Chain A
Amino acid sequence: MDGLIIKIIYAFISLSVATIWGLLLGGIAMKVVARAHGRFGPPVWQPILDIIKNNARRTSISHGIMYFLGPVFRMAGGMGTFLFIPFIFGSTVFGNFSFAGDLFLVMYFIFFGQLGMALGAGESGHPYSAIGVARGLSQMTAFELPFALSIISLVIQYGTLNITEIVAAQQGGILNWTLITNPLATIAALISLQGMNMHNPFSVVIAPQEIPIGPPTEYHSNFLGLLQTNRGLFNIAKLALFMNLYFGGATNLAVMILKTFLLYMITIIIGASFPRFRTEQSIRFFLGVPTILGILAVIIVAYL
């Protein structure tokens, strides 16, 4: 029983650290984009202020049960993704819950939140929500393909579905990282990470200045606060997953911060330099070169 309580406390600590770091990363992203525009931009802690403000709203209106559950599903998706990824390899506090086959569960959880959100946003009845959901789900199906192929390649390479074992196999220097041992899978997955992060050029789901912010159009007050909290957590969960699978994981907090920051900088720099794809353009993009790279990665690992 004591072990369980300690595990829960550890999970809470690692969730809080990840959420705060994820939100600060979002703030840094805004700052970098602002500098690219020649502005100063908001302070890096702006996302945290926004969340406090949104949760402090006095009124909120529900459109029904599914609308209410949408942000809850999204948050469950984010927490589920995060809690089955070893945040810091070999750490008792940040090691989270790892077991054989957690890679499949994580892939499922990445999808799960978006589906819950789609149902919730659908019940809000706003036409922009429906457009955003349609765009988001079709784009997601496209970028899941290179990501899944890359995972298959990894699973063949390491012979395991356990993320902790994959990280363990990459320890002992940069030459053991998947980045070096399986570059094709890494590139395919990195391209699909850009789609997952939903910055430019794959930002058509939220599409600022085009359709008013997509699926969460009708979400407000504490519903939106929950969604924003999840945005920070989910962001860091994805980055931690990629860090673990392709970049040798992290053995302490500083390495984790550095690696996730650099991984996110790729997305930010691409986002600040490129315009937005339309949905069909981004689907064509993902089903083209990244998918071929993924297939090649599988073939090379399996037969060569």
Chain B
Amino acid sequence: MDNKENKSKQKLANDGLAEHEKALFCDARPQTYKPLGKYVEKFLNWARANSLWILGYGTGCGAIELRPLMTARFDMFRWGLAPRPTPRQAGVFVIGGYMSVKTLKRVIRSYEQMQGPKFVIALGSCTINGGMYWDSYNTINRLDHYLPVDIYITGCMPRPEALIAGFNKLKELIKDNKTDGQNEYANNFDWYKANQKKIVKDWNMPDYNW
């Protein structure tokens, strides 16, 4: 416990930044958050589950399956899902398919800019084990080595119905208080960072992007 507390006070090195840029960025580590009282948290989780704002990140072919959700045929708004254009306001990060090395960097940045509690839905087989890109020189294979993933939706590509089922599963998890990606990320921050830096070679951003 002591060790953990000391760790949370440590500063990040921000080695990727040039010396004159270091003062411009924050060097604090992500903090873990204790849940509020039992019933308060239950009420808030109910509200969170019924108002999911999506940051759709079209990394791969899965992005094309996100669009039909907005149309009259699938109508995701019925379940309180709504698209949001900015990571600051979004609560659910939908990774739309295979993740190349280049996009991983942007995804990390966007994920860290989202305000907690935040959730990640990974779409398609390629986020689970690489799928048809498993031996590609240019894509990562397992997404949950780099970000805490709450829901995987399999398929290549999954139909919009599968996506809706995934969102409803996520809602159940949130209501039961079974998912907390933000705290998981903060607790295992060093492990996630090490994995990410193994893949992203030109790390020219702060270690934790607020």
Contact = CB atoms under 8 A, between A and B. Distances in A.
A284 interface: no
B177 to A, nearest CB: 13
A52 B53 CA distance: 13
Nearest to A53: B51
Interface stretch (A152-160, A180-188, A219-227, A255-263): A219-227
Given A58-B33, A219-B89, A224-B89, A34 B77 contact: yes
A41 B89 CA distance: 21
A213 B55 CA distance: 13
A41 B91 contact: no
A212 interface: yes
B51 A50 contact: yes
Contact of A49 (B50, B77, B117): B50
Interface stretch (B78-86, B121-129, B192-200): B78-86
Given A40-B75, A52-B47, A59 B80 contact: no
A39 B72 contact: yes
Contacts of B88: 217-220
A213 B91 contact: no
Residue in A41, A52, A208 with the greatest tally of chain B CB atoms within 10 Å: A52
Interface in A223-277: 224
| Highest count of chain B CB atoms <10 Å: which of A40, A49, A58, A208 | A58
Nearest to B182: A58
Interface string A124-153: 000000000000000000000000000000
A173 interface: no
A39 B76 CA distance: 9
Contacts of A49: 47, 50-51, 80
A58 B72 contact: no
Interface of B: 33, 44, 47-48, 50-51, 53, 71-72, 75, 77-78, 80, 82, 84-86, 88-89, 91, 115-117, 182, 210
Interface of A: 30, 34, 37-43, 46, 49-50, 52-54, 56-61, 208, 212-213, 217-221, 224
